[in-house]
Amino acid sequence: MLDFRGSPSSYLLKGKYTMGKITYATMSADDPALHQAYEEGLAAATGQIGQTHPLLINGEKRYTAETYTERSPIDSDLVVGVYSQASDDDVDDAVAAARAFQPEWEGTPWQERVAIIRRAADLMDEETPTLAGFLSLEIGKNRLEALGDVSEAVAFANYYCDRLEEAGGMETAMGAYGVGDTNHSVLRPWGVWAIISPFNFPMALVASPTSAALLTGNTVVLKPSNTGALGSLLLADIFSRAGLPAGALHVVTGGDEAGDRLAHHDHVDGVTFTGSYDVGMYLYRTVAAGRPKPVVCEMGGKNPAVVTASADLDLAAEGVMRAAFGLSGQKCSANSRVYVERPAYQEFVNLLADKTGEIQVGDPRRRDTFVGPVIDQEAVGRFRSAVEAVKEAGGEIISGGEVVTDGDLERGNFVQPTVVTAPEDTWIWKKELFVPFVAVTPVDSLDEGIDKANDTIFGLTAGVFAGTDGEVDRFFERIQAGVVYANRRAGSTTGAWPDIQPFGGWKGSGTSGAGSGGPWYMRSYVREQARTVIRE
């Protein structure tokens, strides 16, 4: 396994650039120490990529004959890692080990579980620069996105620890009949929890469900995307060094077959999935077919913004630009549709085009890069298809629209951030693209904009830019989305942060009704048991 303990920069970020400093709302980060720390962490990470990694089952490092080679989206010549691929037997062994250890883990006092997760958060915090370097190499995140991913993982772990401590554990005294009885409501874990994680947030979107499940006494089997698997392995190593027993967390890298077997395993008691709508709905329909069990799915979005004629249009254009093109449009919260009241439409489009044209596209390891690569050539193909669909429909490419192949970028997956307008029956208005691509159209009123914003199977995030409180209130009352923002320059639809904006979707974007990083999230990982004792 990788060993980045004692990396030269770790002290530079500890206790300084955590939740309050580096978040997705960070507008600028000109502190030289921050950049020095990142660059030294990147150098340390660069020296350790390309290794072959095992499955982690009950403390055993299990190498398999079948492997998957992950190449950096920055440069296809750069091998990030080679991952063992789990067979059906490997998945079965991981679930069996998790099931065998679960009673012991549940019996561990909750205070000890909290202490372990807090130590893991501290290690992540200390090692932020090197972890961020790995994420830039693996996912193509620019330095602020990479630092933010790690800092969010720290924030998730600490936030759930805080909630458990504030509750005083998982037991609540209830009323009494008055006949010598005592009654308690006890929240107990479901048992073995499967987590199937996506590529785009290899630290944060693993740390959140893993921390919540472990804190509540579940054992975890984690199956990350093959693209993004290194982040999960790094996190598992951190949990181990923090003192987490080997039986509590198991990692099975592999493809869709491994994920499908894990999710549908008879001895798995709950599932958290983050990914596409089609796969999420398939799991939601089938996982609990044999017996009731929780299936927590976050399934992406086609996230709208509405801009009224009274809005600050420069602020609106900045917010849309950041939300549409941050992480190269590969956030499930990315802003991909914009509805602008007609009197403001042309000025808004001009401002958005100008800001988009100023974006630095290139190697995300460079300090001035805002948009790095998309994750793979399949994403490049989706981008090409979307651009072609706009042209065929008689739409207009307002800005961008090209694949970037200049110099060394030819070996990566780079595309221009793109602004378009197109007829609203074009499929680009409906399908989640996961590339830096946003469509804009005029509307005659705020209500028309809201109606069109709601006309989607999704309901993850949404934003409004308006000059009056009445317009903002109207938007909030009618919009069908789980995370909503008004007049947010840092990102019209993006940037949720633990303890600030719980992140969860409505409609086809989510199944649990509770946002991660919010006060109700851990409730998904437990079930209630009512206990009565009579002493006559």
Buried b (16+ CB within 10 A) or exposed e, 425-451: ebebbeebbbbbbbbbbbbeebeebbe
Gap between the Cα atoms of 488 and 463, Å rounded: 8
Q: What is the spatial distance between Cα 268 and Cα 424, in angstroms, rounded to a whole number?
A: 43
Active site residue 298: yes
Residue 227 has phi, psi (to 5 degrees) of -90, 110
Active-site residue, 332 included = yes
Sorted by sequence, the CB contacts under 8 Å of residue 470 that are 6+ apart come out as: none
* 306 DSSP assignment: E
Q: Which of 70, 127, 138, 298 is catalytic?
A: 298
Please give the Cα distance from 366 to 360 (Å, whole number): 10
189: three-class secondary structure by DSSP = strand
Of 332, 341, 432, 471, which one is the catalytic site residue? Answer: 332
Q: DSSP for 339-373?
A: EEEHHHHHHHHHHHHHHHHT--BS-TTSTT-SB--
Q: Which two tokens stand for residue 15?
A: 């206790």
CA 185/CA 169 separation, integer angstroms = 11
Per-residue DSSP letter, 71: E
For residue 12, CA distances in Å to 6, 341, 367 come to 12, 47, 18
Catalytic residues: 298, 332
